[in-house]
Amino acid sequence: MRVTFDLLTSLSNDGRRVVADAIGDLDYPVGGVRTAAELIDVYTGRAPATSWSVLVDHALAGMFSIGQTDQYLGLQTSIFIAPRHRHRGVSHIINRAAITAARDVGVDLMAGVHVDNQASLGAHDSLFVSDCPRTISPSGKYVRMRISDGQLADGETDRRLAETIATQLAEIKSTWPEEVFRFHAWE
């Protein structure tokens, strides 16, 4: 399986619509939005240099972003895979590459997952040798994991994807305040 990215900002409006249609409604709300079309707008507004459509063997499979949230300082991953591409290890490949890239560039990286999304929580757990430390949001709706610090389980990392992510992270790191790239707990 070959996973590749296209920057969402490089796609035409029609291209973004195709991505949104492939994913449809979100399983769990993210940042107050419930559809992929709304989330694409959030992604490209907050993190235009680090928001991608995800392709698997040249077929559209989802979208991925690393961005700063409004709720706290720090960078967080967000991955949405179209239903027909789930349970194939796509998010696992992306997460390993993102963790490797964050380490290469020297930034802290978190994952935020809805507390009811047991499939995603389990997928994150399978990345590591032991449990990654978790905190629960003040609302009780989200689990936050500091994934850049976890000890990765054995497995291959797609260096090509890691380099793509690292290049973009290094570029934005040079323009954002340093505190954005360091972990901050929910108050």
Give yes or no for a contact between 145 and 110, defined as CB atoms under 8 angstroms apart. yes
CATH number of residue 106's parent domain: 3.40.630.30
Is the CB of residue 75 less than 8 Å from the CB of residue 111? no
How many domains, in total, are found in the chain?
Answer: 1
Domain, as residue range, for 158: 3-174
Q: Identify the pLDDT of residue 82.
A: 92
Render pLDDT for 28-67 as a digit per residue (tens, 0 to 9). Answer: 877 788 999 999 998 898 889 999 999 999 999 999 999 8
**Inside any domain, residue 120:** yes
pTM for this entry: 0.87
**Residue 18 in domain:** yes
CA distances from 46 to 17, 31, 149, 177 (A): 18, 12, 24, 15
**Residues 130-135: contacts with CB within 8 Å, 24+ apart?**
135/185, 135/186
147 within some domain: yes
In a domain, 184, yes or no: no
pLDDT value for 30: 77
Residue 82 within a domain: yes
Angle at alpha carbon of residue 168, lines to 16 and 25, rounded to 5°: 30
